[in-house]
């Protein structure tokens, strides 16, 4: 007789097979970022170098900047592990923890969210906020409530935007050439002007295809819809993300933007197209609205999350005075990912019988109310258009 190992069923795990597991999912995320990184490098480095505006080393800077994001956040998490766990300070133990913490990804995304002319110390500060405050304080990978990269970006956006702008233009000659009012992004123009006019919004940057390809001013990674779509396609094929989350999110922004345009007398499809191609909507749709940790887990939750996100993005963008709106709405909704997950899980099991139907009704009504509020509010802001009596209610 012999004593065998204990354990619980099932005794077969897909995890033990090759090419499967959370590590592979995270690796896929990095691979999906490659086209985005390459485009950022091409646009901010290679092309400018070919134009003869910068030297060879300066050409490598965009790549260096993005990689710095990954390196800085990994180092910070390593230091965090060293400081907080006094008993496991060996190099092997820390590298083991780092391999299960996936620090490089928030760092990479963070660097892609920032404009190229961001000073390195701002990047370091943002990485600190992202990895230490946004992730490690919450308990590390899998426990964070906010998307770490987004939190870092938001804190920099709210506090250090002046510094970033003041440092602008050094390594970014092509952007300065295209953009006469130095650094103002297309959405900045919309937020300051409050006018929906093709000649003001799109003309200065060429045509809408420039927006799709990404040769417009903006943060490193978020301008090229094309590169992002390649990454998204890869993620969908690898079954890392569900295709409908980005589609519903982008679709909601598209439809609501079209309605706002229509309300102010601009019915052309160029405006909603412009709306989804600017301000990081595409980047958020593929890489952040699908980020597994900070968004709902189940199918119905993902659908509602994408719907809410779309409505809130439009609300913050057109009603609030925030040019991008995407980051704010994502951070705001990250808080609600857990309750959305809980309620939609009940919907999933109970369908429309009690209490699933009640939750479904509440969520649907909330989405519709928010959408209507956005439309009415934005419609009245961008035109003289007024729905009778509605002004008293809102």
CB of 366 to other proteins, least distance (A): 18
Applying CB under 8 A, what is the total number of residues that bind other proteins? 52
Cβ neighbours of residue 270 closer than 8 Å, sequence gap 6 or more: 198, 202, 208
Q: Per CB under 8 A, does 342 bind other proteins? A: yes
Interaction of residue 103 with other proteins, rule CB under 8 A: no
**Residue from the set 5, 83, 384, 393 that interacts with other proteins by CB under 8 A:** 5
HSE-CB of 365 using CA atoms within 13 angstroms: 6
CA nearest to 251, candidates 306, 299, 296? 306
Residue 23 within binding range of other proteins, rule CB under 8 A: yes
Give the nearest distance from C-beta 283 to other proteins in angstroms. Answer: 20
Q: Does 24 bind other proteins (CB under 8 A)?
A: yes
Check binding of 135 to other proteins (CB under 8 A).
no
Nearer to other proteins, 89 or 143 (CB): 143
Per DSSP, the three-state class of 305 is helix
Where does this chain touch other proteins (CB under 8 A) — which range of 66-74, 137-145, 172-180, 198-206? 137-145
Quick one: which of 308, 296, 289, 306 has its CA closest to 344? 296
- For 364-388, b/e burial (b = at least 16 CB within 10 A) is eeebeebbebbbbbbbbebbeeeee
Distances (CA, A) of 109 to 19, 33, 67, 249, 342: 24, 8, 10, 19, 28
- Residue 141 engages other proteins in binding (rule: CB under 8 A): yes
Span near other proteins by CB under 8 A; candidates 211-219, 271-279, 339-347, 378-386: 339-347
Q: How far apart are CA 113 and CA 108, in angstroms?
A: 9
Between residues 2 and 57, which has the closer beta carbon with respect to other proteins? Answer: 2
Among 256, 293, 307, 353, smallest CA distance to 109 is for 293
Binding of residue 9 to other proteins (CB under 8 A):
yes
Interface region with other proteins, contact rule CB under 8 A, candidates 6-14, 103-111, 119-127, 249-257: 6-14
Q: Which 269-308 positions form the footprint of other proteins (CB under 8 A)?
A: 292-293, 295-300, 302-303
Query: 3-state class of 52 per DSSP?
Result: coil
CA-CA distance, 261 to 127, in Å (whole number)? 38
Task: Give me the least distance between CB of 332 and other proteins, in Å please.
Answer: 19
Distance CA 99, CA 339 (A): 30
| Near other proteins by CB under 8 A: residue from 14, 18, 86, 92 | 14
How many alpha carbons fall within 13 Å on the CB side of residue 97? 20
Closer CB to other proteins, 73 or 224, in the complex: 73
Instruction: Work out which of 346, 372, 387, 390 binds other proteins, going by CB under 8 A.
Output: 346
Q: Which of residues 237-256 bind other proteins (CB under 8 A)?
A: 240, 244
- Integer CA distances (angstroms), 191 to 188, 264, 348, 394, in order: 5, 15, 40, 22
349 forms part of the interface with other proteins (CB under 8 A): yes
* Contact between residue 323 and residue 188 where contact means Cβ atoms under 8 Å apart: yes
Q: Are 63 and 45 in contact (CB under 8 A)?
A: yes
The C-alpha atoms of residue 221 and residue 370 are separated, in whole angstroms, by: 30
138 binds other proteins (CB under 8 A): no
Q: How far is the CB of 339 from other proteins (least distance, A)?
A: 11
Distance in Å, CB of 349 to other proteins, minimum:
4
By CB under 8 A, residue 96 contacts other proteins: yes
- By CB under 8 A, is residue 3 in contact with other proteins? yes
Closest CA to 115 of 184, 54, 199, 55: 184
Residue of 10, 52, 162, 388 that binds other proteins (CB under 8 A): 10
Smallest gap, in angstroms, from Cβ of residue 136 to other proteins? 13
**Rounded to whole angstroms, how far apart are CA atoms 394 and 375?**
12
Residue 154 is a binding residue for other proteins (CB under 8 A): no
Q: Is 95 in the site for other proteins (CB under 8 A)?
A: no
Residues within the interface to other proteins (CB under 8 A): 1-17, 20-25, 96, 100, 102, 140-143, 240, 244, 292-293, 295-300, 302-303, 341-342, 345-346, 348-351, 355-356
């Amino acid at each position: 007789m012999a004593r065998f190992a204990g354990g619980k069923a099932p005794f077969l795990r897909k995890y033990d097979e090759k090419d499967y597991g959370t590590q592979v999912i995270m690796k896929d995320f990095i691979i999906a970022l490659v086209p985005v990184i390459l485009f950022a490098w091409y646009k901010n480095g290679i092309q400018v170098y070919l134009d003869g505006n910068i030297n060879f080393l300066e050409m490598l800077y965009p790549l260096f900047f993005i990689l710095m994001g990954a390196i800085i956040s990994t180092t910070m998490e390593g230091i965090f592990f060293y400081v907080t766990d006094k008993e496991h300070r060996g190099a092997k133990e820390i590298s083991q923890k780092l391999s299960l913490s996936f620090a490089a990804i928030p760092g990479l995304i963070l660097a892609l969210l920032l404009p190229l002319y961001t000073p390195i110390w701002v990047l370091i500060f943002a990485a600190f906020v992202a990895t230490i405050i946004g992730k490690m304080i919450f308990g590390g990978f899998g426990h964070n409530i906010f998307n770490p990269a987004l939190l870092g970006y938001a804190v920099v956006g709210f506090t250090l935007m002046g510094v970033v702008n003041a440092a602008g233009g050094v390594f970014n000659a092509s952007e300065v050439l295209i953009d006469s009012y130095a650094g103002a992004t297309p959405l900045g123009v919309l937020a300051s002007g409050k006018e929906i006019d093709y000649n003001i919004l799109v003309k200065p940057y060429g045509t809408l295809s420039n927006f799709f390809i990404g040769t417009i001013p903006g943060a490193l990674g978020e301008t090229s819809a094309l590169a992002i779509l390649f990454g998204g396609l890869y993620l969908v094929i690898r079954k890392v993300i569900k295709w409908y989350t980005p589609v519903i999110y982008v679709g909601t922004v598209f439809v609501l933007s079209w309605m706002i345009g229509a309300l102010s007398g601009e019915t052309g499809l160029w405006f909603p197209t412009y709306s989804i191609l600017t301000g990081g909507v595409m980047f958020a749709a593929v890489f952040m609205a699908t980020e597994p940790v900070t968004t709902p887990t189940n199918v119905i939750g993902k659908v509602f999350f994408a719907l809410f996100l779309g409505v809130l993005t439009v609300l913050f963008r057109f009603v609030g005075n925030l040019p991008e709106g995407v980051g704010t709405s994502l951070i705001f909704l990250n808080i609600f990912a857990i309750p959305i997950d809980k309620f939609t899980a009940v919907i999933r099991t109970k369908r429309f019988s009690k209490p699933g139907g009640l939750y479904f009704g509440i969520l649907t009504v909330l989405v519709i109310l928010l959408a209507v509020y956005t439309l009415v509010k934005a419609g009245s802001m961008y035109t003289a258009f007024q729905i009778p009596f509605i002004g008293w209610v809102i």
